[in-house]
Amino acid sequence: MKLGKINLCKIKKITAIELTTIMLAFVAIGIYYSPNFMHKQEVMKAAKIKADNAIFTSKALEEFAKDKTIKSSQVAQKVADELNQTSINPYYKKNPAYTFELNCKGCNSVEYDDNLSMIILTTYNKKGELIARTVIKPPSFVTYAKED
């Protein structure tokens, strides 16, 4: 039985030029796909914050249905506190998803008027642009959502 010898001289080595070409190809593919990836991430974050808006609306209407005499300020504070414990701001992880500040960036801004028994929930994206606005006046609500 005869075993063949492997000629090490015939094994081709990867040269620096080939390695550089492969790396440039990967970089080109990454550059091509990264804008799409970043845009999809932004769309997903905007969808998350819109969903938070809908959850707040549902919870607020539930609170108004439980107690017909409850004030808007009490409902707004209760629902915001409850949801801030579980919901995370998709843009800024350390900031709350619901706030009482006006014109916040990347969050749901909560306003209330006890005289009109009304809550206004305004949703902004990372740039501070309006995404959605919901007016909750028991027993119903009106919403405006900006289409992308």
pLDDT band with cut points at 50, 70 and 90 for residue 7: low
pTM as predicted: 0.70
8 phi and psi, to 5 degrees?
Answer: -65, -20
What pLDDT score does 142 carry? Answer: 77
The pLDDT tens digits for 12-56 are 667 888 888 888 888 888 777 777 767 788 888 888 888 888 899
Retrieve residue 51's tokens. Answer: 């969903």
Answer whether 42's CB lies under 8 Å from 117's CB: no
What pLDDT score does 103 carry? Answer: 72
Directed axis angle between helix 72-86 and helix 16-66, to 10°?
150
- Domain segments of the chain as ranges: 15-145
What DSSP designation does 6 have?
P
Which regions of the chain does DSSP assign to beta strands (E)? 98-99, 108-113, 118-124, 130-137, 140-145
